[in-house]
Amino acid sequence: AQLAESGGGLVQAGGSLRLSCAATGSIFSLNAMGWYRQAPGKERELVAAKSSDKTYYADSVKGRFTISRDIAKNTLYLQMNSLKPEDTAMYYCAARVFGVLTIATMPDYWGQGTQVTVSG
């Protein structure tokens, strides 16, 4: 499978962005998909993930971000509202063939990333 993110950009604090991740290739085998982010000087962290029966959000984004998946369009979304300067990072789409994405599991596939910058 190949993953391609889009939708990043520069936004003021309090604003919104919607990230998209288009999946191509062997997408029907992808049980879980999610979004990670990495800020300069920090480790990559799992922001949100979705599988057939579970949804995960990091505490830092609960109530502000919403992950969704459109199976028909083979696309994963991340709606980000009430953005804060600390949300500034490169955001990566990821997918796992079996099981779920958690802070303890690793994806099988990664996208190239899309930059989100929130000005304060």
Cα–Cα separations (whole angstroms), residue 20 to 9, 56, 91, 96, 99? 12, 17, 10, 17, 22
Question: Please, which pLDDT band fits residue 29 given cuts at 50, 70 and 90?
Answer: confident
Listed in sequence order, the residues at least 6 apart from 43 whose beta carbon sits closer than 8 Å to its beta carbon are none
Question: Please, which pLDDT band fits residue 120 given cuts at 50, 70 and 90?
Answer: confident
Helix/strand/coil for 28: helix
**DSSP string over 72-104:** TTTEEEEEE-S--GGG-EEEEEEEESSS---TT
The 10s digit of each residue's pLDDT in 66-105 is: 999 998 888 999 999 999 999 999 999 999 998 899 988 9
Question: Please, which pLDDT band fits residue 7 given cuts at 50, 70 and 90?
Answer: very high
